[in-house]
Chain A
């Protein structure tokens, strides 16, 4: 009875992607209807803002040096950092998007959760401790460790900023649409509120405030999701069999929700998406930056273990929530649109409606406030990562070649945060009516094809040279952007051409190997004396990366 036809079309066309759903902005939240003002939600959100502003005030008093600003003085513990990383990763998009996908097609939602999680072990085994041992504030520190500062940092800052801006657009548009729906606030106000708050957190509180905002939000989100999942399981006496049986009975697709559906019909596409999800995570600047907030490699490793555990647990919860929504929300007229077919507000509202179904108005307000807080925390982390790329990489190390002082650098970083905040608001307004579904996918594809190859090769391959890193990295960036534009998500869905030039939605299967090969090729043919010196410097870098000897703020010396 419910939303077969609409959802059928959605799954048909959006086939392989949760990403559109995840972008939140998009496809199915799309142009949302403004709802009646939700006072419970607004009051709880105001409480959250009050608390986080208090923390920002405290953080501002304790933020004096560049290290405080970029890396919270290296004083975050492994456990705290694990929560903060999990917070960065558990965006509103993954909470609402994955539960929406499970609500719509059952098992397929699990495929995405899995893809999103498996990047973390790889980050731990190959990247985390080396990053901590070699870097100071940004991943460009590591990429440029033994290479020429100016070109490599310019490249790395470009890679970071491109990722940050695309990610921000998706988040801002998603925020506006979601807030309109949950709080009954105007889109414009919503985007401006998000912009102002994130500027305050980042400029005054730096990494300390950003980290604590992220930790608080992660705890609230985990608590809220746990409550919903428990409430669902209680109704079925903790029997998954009973929950599944009821879901199969009431879902329009019946038994089909218990196995893989249309989501991953094409193996090449599936693997390409898997690559972007897995390796893109290891190229996201706001995530990589978190490894500099802990005192040493030991804590860096622990933070990945905690983050992986929290994120994995959270994905299992969203899965239960999706199935709970099938049973407790789907088919209940109070949660459906006027026609009684689709969910009110689109499938992304599945978790929110379920919150109401199990916890009433008050809990709905809580979950709405948490969703808003989630967006706010994620955009703050992104803004700080973008501002660091501008101030630490471009300003201090490219334009002034290290001959500036910390105060100036931090000041530039604050100005950059302000600038990025304003840009994010403007882009949020410009893109209000656009379909930005492709942005999250594009972001991961770029991160996997630009930052990730250069970072990995700088840490593991002796032969890497400046020329190779910069040329290869830019080729990867160009390939990811061009192939996405020529692919079905932009060429057909946004630009409305009848047929895509490039057949795949996710370009990573081509763009990422291309970046690796290009980086290798341009390094190998580089026979300059400079290249030789860079290759000779590898040994010392390797020793530092393996032992932590000489690492920033390391206890071993």
Chain B
């Protein structure tokens, strides 16, 4: 199979190493960020619920918890957007270069 052959060559291609290193590094870093944000939120709920129930300013009813919770939702959307933007642009160009080069 030609796939087998090109797999052999791709493995030793420095562009492949670059692609994998860049993309996995980015993906794991973003995953870690999501975990920190989310479990941070859960831990605040578990250990410092009073903090979330503090009004955002004197005399207001709205508490800190609301912008924070909505912020977690928006950050999830934003981080997926950031990843897709970079993966579908930079990383896919790298992949294309790599595969074209092997033909």
Contact = CB atoms under 8 A, between A and B. Distances in A.
A345 B93 CA distance: 55
Interface string B1-42: 001101100110000100110010001101100110111011
Interface string A119-132: 01110111001000
A166 B38 CA distance: 27
A114 B76 CA distance: 9
Contact of B76 (A121, A126, A248, A540): A121
Nearest to B51: A259
A315 interface: yes
Interface size class of B (residues with CB under 8 A): 35 or more
A327 B8 CA distance: 66
Given A107-B63, A121-B79, A270-B46, A550 B3 contact: yes
B90 interface: no
A271 B95 CA distance: 38
A316 B73 CA distance: 8
A209 to B, nearest CB: 28
A172 B63 CA distance: 38
Contacts of A546: 16, 19-20, 23, 95
Interface string A519-549: 0000000000000000000011001101111
B73 A124 contact: no
A305 interface: yes
Contacts of A549: 3, 6-7, 10, 99
A21 to B, nearest CB: 18
Contact of B38 (A118, A126, A258, A544): A118
Contacts of A308: 76-77, 80
Interface string A481-522: 000000000000000000000000000000000000000000
Interface in A102-127: 107, 110-111, 113-115, 117-118, 120-122, 124-126
A305 B81 CA distance: 6
A539 B9 CA distance: 12
A547 B88 contact: no
A197 interface: no
A240 interface: yes
Contact of A125 (B27, B63, B65, B95): B27
A260 B62 contact: no
A433 interface: no
B16 A543 contact: yes
Given A107-B63, A114-B73, A121-B31, A556 B45 contact: no
A550 B23 CA distance: 20
B54 to A, nearest CB: 8
A241 B7 CA distance: 59
Interface string A253-291: 001001110001011001100100010000000000000
A380 to B, nearest CB: 26
B100 to A, nearest CB: 9
B52 A260 contact: yes
Contacts of A125: 27-28, 30-31, 34, 83
Contacts of A274: 38-39, 42
Interface of A: 107, 110-111, 113-115, 117-118, 120-122, 124-126, 129, 240-241, 244-245, 248, 255, 258-260, 264, 266-267, 270-271, 274, 278, 298, 301-302, 304-305, 308-309, 312, 315-316, 539-540, 543-544, 546-550, 556
20 contacts: A114-B72, A115-B42, A118-B76, A125-B27, A125-B34, A240-B62, A240-B66, A245-B61, A264-B42, A267-B47, A304-B80, A305-B81, A309-B81, A312-B74, A316-B70, A546-B16, A547-B10, A547-B98, A549-B3, A556-B95
Interface of B: 3-4, 6-7, 10-11, 16, 19-20, 23, 27-28, 30-31, 34-35, 37-39, 41-43, 45-47, 49-50, 52-53, 60-63, 65-66, 69-70, 72-74, 76-77, 79-81, 83-84, 87-88, 92, 95-96, 98-99
Given A267-B47, A301-B88, A540-B4, 18 more contacts: A113-B73, A115-B38, A117-B72, A118-B76, A121-B30, A124-B80, A125-B34, A244-B62, A260-B65, A267-B42, A270-B45, A274-B38, A309-B80, A312-B77, A544-B3, A549-B6, A549-B99, A550-B3
Interface pairs A-B: 5 shortest CB-CB: A259-B53, A267-B46, A260-B49, A110-B69, A125-B27
